[in-house]
Amino acid sequence: MFKKIVVVLAAVLLMSGMVFAQSKTSKKTTKPAAKTAAKTVKASSGDYKDLLGVSIDVMNREAGVRLWPVDTMGLDFNAGIGHNGVLESTGFNIGAGMVFPMAEADNLALNITPGMKIDYTSMKIAGTDMGEFLFSVGVGVELEIFVLKNFSISSSAGINFGVYSVSVGSSSETKMLFDLGRGTAVWPLVIRYYL
């Protein structure tokens, strides 16, 4: 019983102290502190809407386009074609995705990038025809660093789910794919210029 009385008295003293302090501070007139905002860089004009970025993926040798129809969502499209005369291989890939800006600070932007990709490669090894097909969907986290006002370098990592099929001669095998670590709509090292 004694503990309850002490707790109630302490609560009453605390509340009266808070009320007294509030009445003292409301009588003083002070200037509000100046608010500082974090400097943000959103490509060229301070917002993404109606921006068009062209890019090249240095690692996967793909060209890409990033469109921003609205500030809160962008669209990514990329494609690549390859040929290797020594391995007698030919391949292509095509991908599409969306970009959702999540955070910005100074020259950095953090984006969520869901997307899909289709890869096909055919080659001839020791006189045997071989083909690979990959269809994947996933989501990635992209870090975009603006080196200049309209010039950025980005990289991403994420989770992919998909179907992978390989054929060698007359036999083929199809597997389900789960890949943790790679991006989806953007790839390991993308250099982008906003027009």
Instruction: Find the domain containing 92 and state its range.
Output: 52-194
Question: 156 with 146: CB under 8 angstroms?
Answer: no
Report field, pTM of the whole predicted structure over 0.75: no
Band of pLDDT at residue 16, cut at 50, 70 and 90: low
Band of pLDDT at residue 41, cut at 50, 70 and 90: very low
- Across 44-48, 77-81, 99-103, 112-116, least confident range: 44-48
Tell me, yes or no, whether 117 lies in a domain. Answer: yes
Q: How many CA atoms lie within 13 A of 139 on its CB side?
A: 3
- Helices then strands, each counted (H, E), the chain: 1, 9
Mean pLDDT of 162-180: 90
CA gap 125, 18 in Å, rounded: 82
Tell me, yes or no, whether 47 lies in a domain. Answer: no
- Total number of domains constituting the chain: 1
Tell me, yes or no, whether 17 lies in a domain. Answer: no
Residues 93-151 have pLDDT tens digits of 999 999 999 998 888 999 999 999 999 999 888 888 899 999 999 999 999 999 998 99
Provide the CATH number for the domain around residue 91.
2.40.160
Q: Which residues neighbour 108 within 8 Å (Cβ) at sequence distance 6 or greater?
A: 143, 144, 145, 146
Tell me, yes or no, whether 29 lies in a domain. Answer: no
